[in-house]
Structure 1
Amino acid sequence: MAQSSSATSASSRTASFILRILAFALSLISLIVLATNTVIVTDYDYNEAKFRFQDFYAYRYMLATIVIGTAYSLLQLVASICNAISGGEGMLVLAFFGDKFISYVMATGAAAGFGVTVDLSRVTGGTGLDMSNFFEKAYASASLLLLAFICTALLSIISAFALPRRSL
């Protein structure tokens, strides 16, 4: 019985490590895509306007959630590497509550990004401004953040199963 418990523990650690790498990578790429999202559009009178993600509050909120999620993912990734080297369990309660909180933060950031992109594309649709590249990058960043949220939500489930095992 002890052997199957240690095999389950090893497989959950491996899955957690892979999901933490994925969450970090996805949120980092999402950060890069959003931070470089700028477009210069020309209207019918040949007036140019530059739109950046910073011009919209929802994208700023999305950026904040990405930065928080990326920092947390990096912190947990380093902690899991240190735990693997030392052979310790780590701080399971912190991981449990942290994964839950950060997954909700990432989910709201992705929802804000999708929502503002849909609204902006609807508003600018009939104006003749070609902002499709801007919207595609915003959708890509929000989609990557949504995938990072899914990884963090799965980590939350894994850490929920790891807590009772530790107390036995």
Structure 2
Amino acid sequence: MSQVRYDGYSEPRSSKVPIFSLAARVATFASLVVTVVILQTNKVTLNTGFRLTYSSLFHSYRYMFYVSILGLVYTAMQIPLAVYYLRARKRLIERYSLLHIDFYGDKIMSLLLGAGVGAAFGATRDLNKAYEESNVPKIHDFFDLSYVAAVFILIGCLGSAISSIFSSLALSKGE
């Protein structure tokens, strides 16, 4: 059975788009939470007493952190809208201009998270290689956890890209 809306578009009850849209947003949110937690807890104190953190020397890790926070805020605002869309089978606000905001917001967030992925993997690889021969005992543990954070921001980027596809479909349908 279909629910007919005032604009003539009917969303089939069996459509999986709202479920997948919500799942992509939740996966993005969860992976970005993990990224932020790893970055916040990944600390190493070197023999010299210097405490190495994501924010101590590395601009790439700071960028990854702030982009993850921005992604969390954006996704947290989008999840309630996705839940409403799943339950009601229609958008909360049926304005074409708001579909454009969703469309462009998802695209920009995907690009920012993608740049965060590149910064994280690039910095971690380069720094790990630079300290490969060093006898600093815990520095490789720091870089290993940085790789884990990079993987989770990659998952967040993929979830955001999937959300971007769904917002593109919604815009093209004129939902």
- Provide TM-score, normalisation by structure 2: 0.83
2:142 equivalent to 1:141:
no
Matched ranges for 1:52-67 at <5 A: 52-55=53-56, 56-67=58-69
2:167 matched residue in structure 1: 159
CA offset digits 1:81-131 (Å, max 9, x no partner): 244456532432222111110000001011111111111111111221131
Name segments (4+ residues, structure 1) moved above 3 Å: 82-88
Whose helix proportion is higher, 1 or 2? 1
Query: Does the aligned pair in 1 maintain the 2:18–2:89 contact within 8 Å?
Result: no
2:23 matched residue in structure 1: 18
Q: Which runs of 5+ in 2 are unaligned?
A: 4-9
CA distance in 1, matches of 2:77, 2:54: 27
Helix, strand or coil at the partner of 1:6: strand
CA distance in 2, matches of 1:97, 1:103: 10
RMSD over aligned CA atoms reads 2.1
Matched ranges for 1:41-80 at <5 A: 41-42=46-47, 47-55=48-56, 56-80=58-82
Q: In structure 1, what residue type is equivalent to 2:80? A: V
Change (3 A) 1:12 1:60: same
Helix, strand or coil at the partner of 1:10: coil
1:27 matched residue in structure 2: 32
The alpha carbon displacement at 1:79 in A equals 2.2
Helix, strand or coil at the partner of 1:54: coil
- Provide TM-score, normalisation by structure 1: 0.86
Q: In structure 1, what residue type is equivalent to 2:121? A: F
The answer to which of 125-134 and 30-39 deviates more is 125-134
2:150 equivalent to 1:150:
no
CA offset digits 1:47-73 (Å, max 9, x no partner): 443211111111111111000011111
CA distance in 2, matches of 1:10, 1:118: 43
Change (3 A) 1:9 1:67: farther
Change (3 A) 1:8 1:154: farther
The alpha carbon displacement at 1:9 in A equals 8.1
The answer to which of 55-64 and 81-90 deviates more is 81-90
Helix, strand or coil at the partner of 2:75: helix
Helix, strand or coil at the partner of 2:108: helix
